[in-house]
Structure 1
Amino acid sequence: MSMNSVGDKSQVFLSLRNNMALKTRLGTLVQELSTGQSSDLVKRLGADQTRLSDVDRQLTLLSGYGRVTTQTAQSLSLMQTTIARTEETRSQLAAQMLTITAEGAVNQNEAAARAARDAMDTVVSTLNLRFSDQSLFAGAAVDGPALASAETIMAELATVTAGATTSADVIAAIDTWFDTPAGGFETVGYLGDTGPAQTRRIDQGTVVALDAKADDPAFRDMFKAVALAAVVAEGALPGDAAAQTELLQESGLRLMASATSLTQLQARLGGIEGRVQDTATRHAARETTLGLIRNDMTSADPFETAAQLEEVQLQLETHYTVTARLSRLSLAEYLR
Structure 2
Amino acid sequence: MTSYSIGDQARAFALQTASHRLKTTLATLTSEMASGEVADLGQRLQGNTQMLRQMEARISMIDQLDRNAAEIEIFSQGMQDVLEAIRGQTASLGLSLLAEPFSETPALVSMRAAEAGDAFETVVSRINGAVGGKYLFSGLNSDAPPLLSAGRILDELELVTAGMTTATDVSQAVSAWFDAAPGSGGFLDTAYQGTIGQAQAFVVGDGQTVELGATAASTPLREVLKGMATSALVDRGLLAGQYHEQRDLLQRGGQIMTDNASEVLAEMGRIGQAQGLTERARTENSSARAALSAARNNLRAADPYETAGAITMVEAQLEALYSVTARLANLKLVDYLR
**Band the TM-score falls in, shorter-chain normalisation:** over 0.9
Distance 1:195 1:222 in 2: 19
Cα distance change, pair 2–333 in 1 and its aligned pair in 2 (3 A): closer
| Match status 1:25 vs 2:25 | yes
- In the TM superposition, what are the counterparts of 1:76-91 in structure 2 within 5 Å? 76-91=76-91
CA distance in 1 between partners of 2:19 and 2:47 (Å): 33
Cα contact 1:73–1:276 (8 A) shared by 2 = yes
Partner of 1:215: 217
Between 181-190 and 293-302, report the one with greater CA deviation: 181-190
Corresponding residue SS for 1:140: coil
Q: For residue 105 of structure 1, report the CA deviation from its aligned partner.
A: 4.1
5+ residue gaps in structure 2? none
Distance in 1, matches of 2:155 and 2:267, equals 28
Which letter does structure 1 place at the counterpart of 2:168?
A: A
1:118 aligns with: 118
Would you say the 8 A contact 1:90–1:255 is kept in 2?
A: yes
Indicate the SS of the match to 1:200: strand
CA displacement, residues 236-292 of structure 1 (integer Å, 9 cap, x when unaligned): 101000000001112222211111000000000111111111101000000000000
TM alignment of 1:1-336, pairs within 5 A: 1-46=1-46, 48-101=48-101, 103=103, 105-182=105-182, 183-334=185-336
Is the 8 Å Cα contact of residues 26 and 309 (structure 1) preserved in structure 2? Answer: yes
1:129, 1:136 within 8 Å by CA — same for their partners in 2?
A: yes
The unaligned stretches of length 5 or more in structure 1 are: none
Q: Post-superposition shift, 1:97?
A: 1.5
How far residue 60 of structure 1 moved from its aligned partner, in angstroms, is 1.7
Contact 2:165–2:239 (CA under 8 A) maintained in structure 1: yes
Letter in 1 for 2:220: A
Q: Answer whether contact 1:146 1:191 (CA < 8 A) is retained.
A: yes
Letter in structure 2 aligned against 1:5: S
Looking at structure 1, the residues matched to 300 and 130 of structure 2 have their Cα atoms a distance apart, in angstroms, of 44
Q: State the 1:335 CA deviation.
A: 5.6
Query: 1:38, 1:299 within 8 Å by CA — same for their partners in 2?
Result: yes
Preserved CA contact (<8 Å) 2:38 2:44: yes
Q: Residues 104 and 244 of structure 2 are in contact (CA less than 8 Å); yes or no, is this contact kept in structure 1? A: no
- Equivalent pair of 1:199/1:208 in contact (CA under 8 Å): yes
Report the more deviating stretch, 235-244 or 82-91: 82-91
Deviant stretches of 4+, over 4 Å: 333-336
Q: Is the 8 A contact 1:100 1:109 kept in 2?
A: no
Deviation at 1:102, TM superposition (A): 5.7
- What is the CA distance between 1:132 and its match in structure 2? 2.5
Query: C-alpha distance in 1, partners of 2:179/2:8?
Result: 99
Identity of aligned residues (%): 33
Aligned letter for 2:304?
P
What is the CA distance between 1:317 and its match in structure 2? 1.8
Counterpart of 2:190 in structure 1: which amino acid?
Answer: V
Structure 1 length-normalised TM: 0.95
Q: Once the 2 structures are TM-superposed, how far is the Cα of residue 333 of structure 1 from its aligned partner?
A: 4.5
Distance 2:77 2:5 in 1: 79
Can you list the C-alpha shifts for 1:160-180, whole angstroms capped at 9, x where unaligned?
112110000110110011001
CA apart distance, 1:134: 1.7
**Partner Cα distance (1:104, 1:314) in 2:** 104
| Structure 1 residue 96: Cα displacement | 2.9
